[in-house]
Structure 1
Amino acid sequence: MSSSTTIRTTTLGTDGPVVGVVGLGCMGMSHAYDPSGRDDDASVGVIRQALDLGVTLIDTADVYGPFVNEELVGRALGDGHRERAVLATKVGLVLPEGGLRGSSAALDRNARPEHIRAAIDASLRRLGTDHVDLYQLHRVDPEVPLEESWGAMAEVVAAGKARAIGLSEVGVEEIKRAQSVHPVASVQSELSLWTRDPLADVLPYCESQGIAFLPFSPLGRGFLAGRFSGAQDLPADDWRSTLPRFQADALAANQALVETVKAVAERHGATSAQVALAWVLAQGRYVVPIPGTKTPKYLADNAGAAALTLGAADLAELDALPAPTGDRY
């Protein structure tokens, strides 16, 4: 796909802005994945290349880095690029006191209204903008009634600092509770061929309500793209090496999923990543996956999924894949 070609679009839910049907998750550019391979200049180039391709939903969070990911995105969107992007960030996850606990990268939750009010201003400073298009509650805080957190999120919209607000990793009842306070523009959760939990109730509810659904890790953290044949393929100090599905036995067992995806890809003259993303795109009208990458080649590959339409037989074959070996976390 050339840089002059832009991908097809949808809207971010019934009332949201127009976005490319594939977005870009920026976390891995400075957080968790291959930390020794960080290259901010290259990542700035990838974000701008994404905009050229029509990959306009750019997703970050204050905790990524922490803080440096927003600064990176802000740098990429400088020099007149901000108006080309639909910019999304998040609040609600924070570093624990004393820093991260070992390799688990365990984070604490803070969705107190006062924290949200301060965090949006800090995020806007780092991003170099006066508003974000989507401000997301990264996780519900069990210590704070959701209605209080969501009320503070609604204040951010009223103040003109965010155009819309969304939730992440929530169930239907939590979405309904939030809706009683202020409209929910989006829900972000993990969805891929090896994490299909939202298909049971969350995604159908979002579809019925015209709420955008933003799948993170739609490529199974790179696994479904066929990039890891074994644990030895993971970069040193990569967070994925701590996850159950990336342990040696689980990786070996899960290769069967990759083989099926690859077979479908070969029938279409496509890549495995494009098939995995096309399956996600087929799950709903307002489903906008946000695969992450810091590599121009993979960015173009992911964007190409927007042009791939899987047939009923392809979708049935992929739907029939077994559940993966190993938990998500």
Structure 2
Amino acid sequence: MTTLPADHFDADSTTDEVLDGLDLNGRNVVITGTSSGLGIETARALSARGAHVVGVVRNIDKARAALAEAGASEVDLYEADLASLESVRAFTDRYVADGHDRIDVLIANAGIMACPQGSTTDGFELQFGTNHLGHFLLINRLLSLLLNAKAARVVMLSSSGHRFGDVSLDDPNFERTPYDAWMAYGRAKTANVLFAVELDRRYRSQGLRATAVHPGGIVTDLGRHLTDETINALIEARSGAEIKWKNVQQGAATSVWAGFVADADAVGGRYCEDCAVAPVIDDVAHTPGVMGYALDPDTAAGLWTLSEHLVGETFSAGEIQLR
């Protein structure tokens, strides 16, 4: 069966429609956050087409039960808590020691949203530390396996919430800035885009491409921290703009589209939504689109340097160098 052209899909497309006709046998895929919502659907859709899928989760028992219910019990599971650098390091060491020699697609799906102020195990602001730094460390420590694939892709799940704020290279942990749950989420989601921009710039000549995606508005466990106060703040921040809701099959579609269907040169270093590359905008009320600051190459390079400093490791061509 011949698949439809990549530009045929839109906001209503589902994972099964996007992947229709694809044979993914022999493809090695790593997905973080496969215990609920979009992660489960992404893992199900890819494993159903023959991909060998590894899920990285905080709670293996919860993930195993949820995947089995979704018909994806063949997904292999590893434990890691993105809010702990020690846990991320333990996972990557274990994954390599188990003999995995190649990753074709890595989908950074896990995340938290608009939570009360808190800190990771290592003392970083919780949303920045979990959504960005945890993935930054995990992906870089597996970089040699991505490069071994010769034509690998990294898909970072960002959000339209990146419009709530640019990253702060001077105050990433809100030590001098009054904490706001949505601002912190916005900074973390902008960081996800900027990480994809710099990762793509550094390694596209070696065949590794990276992109960021906005899945859309989906009711999942991601919203578990929302309160009446934060919901009202969200409505106010959006200036009354209506949210177009998706189901999980539609929400996960852009992730698999960017990872397996879209042209690598089209999506590399870009931000995608509704199964398309999003336009660059300068008005937070405009949709679809990505704010220009989220694609700024100088900020992306600065964030990379800051992130290496914060996690205590530098990365070059897949080699880990301890500071």
**TM-score between the two structures when normalised by the length of structure 1:** 0.40
TM-score, structure 2 normalization: 0.41
